[in-house]
Chain A
Amino acid sequence: MSSSQSKGFVDLSARKRVEILLDRGSMHELLSPFDKVTSPWLEKQGIVPQFDDGVVVAKGTIGAKSTVIAAIEGSFQGGSLGEVGGAKIAGLLELALEENKKGNPTAAVLLLESGGVRLQEANLGLGAIAEIQAGIVELRTYQPVVGVITGPVGCFGGMSIAAGLCSYLIMTREGRLGLNGPQVIEQEAGIDEYDSRNRDLIWGLTGGTQRFATGLADVLVDDDVDAMCKAVQGCLAKGVPAHHRSDEILGSLENLLKVDTSKQITADVAYQILTGVAKNDDK
């Protein structure tokens, strides 16, 4: 698929993203759209389903190493995870875990383009996300679990916690990572607190550049297919990290206490709290 021409990664569909990251011809999709396992809940609520429920899961190789890969399609229902899509990812992680226990090293790559739980499937989606998180935590002790957030949807809600649990996290400048999405915060806290249409504020706080600068993401890549393939391969080659970011809870709690909630937080203040140094003028 790859050509010598520079080609964007963000514009690709979930299935194309998977195909392009895996070694050529190695992709074996599990529960493909032709199996037609759609959400049993959306139609009952008058919402048109999708044949793969917005999630592509596959086995294959990356750099000749056995890897499982899941990609959420951000264009379908905001990349929300319901019962079927969630179970597909959870089952895929379980499959990788079994392989590792049998002595076949199998890593995982998760393309997390998700608004979090699908509200129409509420508890079933939440349950699936909990299973995904448990799966990541167990699998990452055997082989790296690499999370990728590229945009345009970003990664929010329960899936942002899943992203935080990954061994390594790759982001693009367009990607965003946050527990609550901007519109949710605006709705709950008011537009004075957080204006979801203020792009500078939103990307300044939750965008890939800031997440990388403050150590919450490991790699910042351009929106380019070749750069993305290299970044994923690089993370997989690093193996299991000595420390996982999510183990450093005490440091994160300390940082939270430094936040002055009486003032509107800015990207610079967040940077200073998370890194301990004041931000210099932009290059």
Chain B
Amino acid sequence: MQTIDLTRPGRTEFLSPVLVGCVGSGDLEVLIESAPEPVASISIKTSVVGSEVRWQQIVDAVDTDLELPAMKMSIHDFGATPGVIRLRMEQALELARKQEVPA
């Protein structure tokens, strides 16, 4: 198992806390919480040792497409492929942004 921490600048916006996925074979769970600082901090625990560069590339790709918000994203990965990782991250971001601001 390896722990990887990545940070990117993050746009301040309203986010609902969300959790998607499961730590099952070839899958991962992605948990998003809002953060006060304008930073997207991504904390990854993965069963795949030596995958740091790959994670950086995936995060950069998602950032280019979706512009990361200010948040704390926590990931538990159980050997997911880059495609699955991207889908889960995008799914989590979409859900976190979609839910309306509570009254």
Contact = CB atoms under 8 A, between A and B. Distances in A.
Contact of B45 (A49, A54, A76): A49
A50 B29 CA distance: 8
B1 interface: yes
B37 interface: no
A51 B77 contact: no
Contacts of A47: 1, 47
Interface string B65-91: 000000000101110000000000000
Given A34-B31, A34-B33, A43-B45, A50 B17 contact: no
B31 A48 contact: no
Contacts, number: 45
Contacts of B78: 48
Give chain A's interface residue range (CB within 8 Å of chain B): 10 to 19
Interface stretch (B20-28, B51-59, B95-103): B20-28
Nearest to B76: A48
A33 B31 contact: yes
Given A43-B45, A47-B1, A49-B45, A75 B31 contact: no
Interface of A: prevailing SS: loop
B31 A73 contact: no
A76 B22 contact: yes
Interface string A27-43: 00000011010000001
Contacts of A46: 1
A13 interface: yes
Interface string A113-152: 0000000000000000000000000000000000000000
A120 B103 CA distance: 45
A213 B25 CA distance: 34
- In order of increasing CB-CB distance, the 5 nearest A-B pairs are A75-B24, A50-B23, A46-B1, A75-B22, A33-B19
8 contacts: A34-B17, A36-B74, A47-B47, A48-B45, A48-B78, A50-B76, A51-B74, A75-B23
